[in-house]
């Protein structure tokens, strides 16, 4: 029988979701200013600010997705940790000890890039060796020791989790779990091994690079280009909007498609459609840039 325990989510979801909305709003504002400002210098400044504001979005988006789908599953065979694309199956007989982090008697070194809802990463310390964090907060943190490393997890119901583990440990395991570690890069490797997925992703990337190359070559020689309304013109630098927008579409479709591909079955088709949309967008951006240039 499976016993599922979930990490505290509310603070992390509100914080990361709020930050994503703030970054998207601010980035969209500066993109809008860049598309409207007639000055080449101001255009480049607004574009730079917008790009800087949008850089954290993939990280925040993945960590929000991972937190929302995180779960710790206890069964007689062992412990299963699910955190985004990270999966760890620990046989019951491989768990050497388990205790709350606030009872170990010394301070744990925390991951470098962390915030409420996302205490993720690895640190090494002399007393415990390597510690891998798959946790959403510190108050509920439990350390699970295995021969290879220690996992820092944070089930919201700490007492229930510890009591369930104790009960499972007393019952013993007849068929322990097969030890398994799956990291995000391993899953990305599976996508890469799929010929359809690989060529769609590479096709979108290749077209994006071609659009960027065409625009980069053309912009220095362009003083003005035709703009949205008939008879209106804009500085040549504004042509840089096309490769930037194409890159954003490619990144978003790559991330969303990868998450859909992970679920398998019919959702693989949805992933192919998203990656194919990136190819189509690249073609349209390339045609559009050539029309504006010539």
Q: Classify residue 40 as left (phi > 0), alpha (psi -120 to 50) or beta.
A: alpha
Which of 242, 190, 197 lies closest to 216 in space, CA to CA? 242
- Cβ-in-10-Å burial (0-12, 13-18, 19+) of 193 comes to exposed
Q: How far is CA 218 from CA 67, 224, 240, 291, in A?
A: 44, 11, 10, 12
- pLDDT of 225 reads 76
pLDDT at residue 186 in the model: 66
- Asked whether the beta carbons of 67 and 9 are under 8 A apart, the reply is yes
Segments in the chain below pLDDT 70 = 37-40, 186-187, 227-231
For residue 239, the model assigns a pLDDT of: 84
Residue 123 vs residues 60, 73, 88, 109: alpha-carbon distances, Å: 21, 24, 17, 7
- How many Å apart are CA 159 and CA 165, to the nearest integer? 10
Domains of the chain, by residue range, sit at 1-182, 183-294
| DSSP class of 117 | T
The answer to whether the beta carbons of residues 153 and 81 sit under 8 Å apart is yes
| pLDDT reported for residue 230 | 67
Query: What does the alpha-carbon distance between residue 18 and residue 147 come to, in Å, rounded to a whole number?
Result: 39
Q: What is the pTM of this model?
A: 0.81
């Amino acid at each position: 029988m499976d016993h599922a325990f979930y990490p505290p989510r509310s603070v992390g979801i509100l914080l990361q979701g709020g930050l994503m909305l703030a970054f998207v709003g601010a980035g969209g504002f500066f993109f809008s200013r860049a598309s409207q400002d007639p000055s080449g210098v101001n255009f480049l400044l607004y574009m730079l600010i917008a790009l800087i504001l949008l850089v954290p979005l993939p990280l925040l988006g993945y960590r929000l997705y991972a937190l929302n789908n995180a779960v710790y599953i206890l069964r007689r065979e062992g412990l299963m940790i699910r955190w985004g694309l990270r999966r760890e199956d620990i046989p019951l007989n491989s768990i050497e000890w388990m205790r709350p982090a606030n009872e170990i008697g010394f301070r744990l070194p925390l991951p470098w890039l962390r915030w409420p809802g996302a205490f993720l990463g690895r640190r090494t310390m002399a007393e415990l060796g390597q510690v891998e964090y798959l946790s959403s907060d510190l108050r509920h943190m439990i350390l699970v020791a295995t021969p290879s490393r220690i996992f820092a997890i944070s089930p919201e119901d700490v007492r229930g989790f510890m009591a369930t583990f104790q009960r499972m440990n007393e019952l013993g395991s007849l068929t322990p779990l097969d030890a398994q570690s799956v990291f995000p890069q391993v899953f990305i490797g599976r996508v890469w091994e799929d010929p359809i997925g690989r060529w769609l992703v590479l096709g979108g990337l290749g077209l994006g690079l071609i659009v960027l190359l065409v625009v980069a070559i053309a912009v220095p020689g362009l003083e003005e280009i035709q703009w949205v309304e008939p008879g209106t013109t804009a500085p040549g630098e504004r042509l840089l909007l096309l490769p930037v927008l194409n890159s954003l579409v490619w990144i978003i479709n790559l991330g969303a498609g990868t998450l859909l591909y992970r679920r398998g079955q019919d959702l693989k088709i949805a992933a192919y459609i998203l990656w194919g949309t990136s190819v189509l967008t690249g073609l349209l951006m390339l045609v559009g840039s050539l029309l504006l240039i010539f």
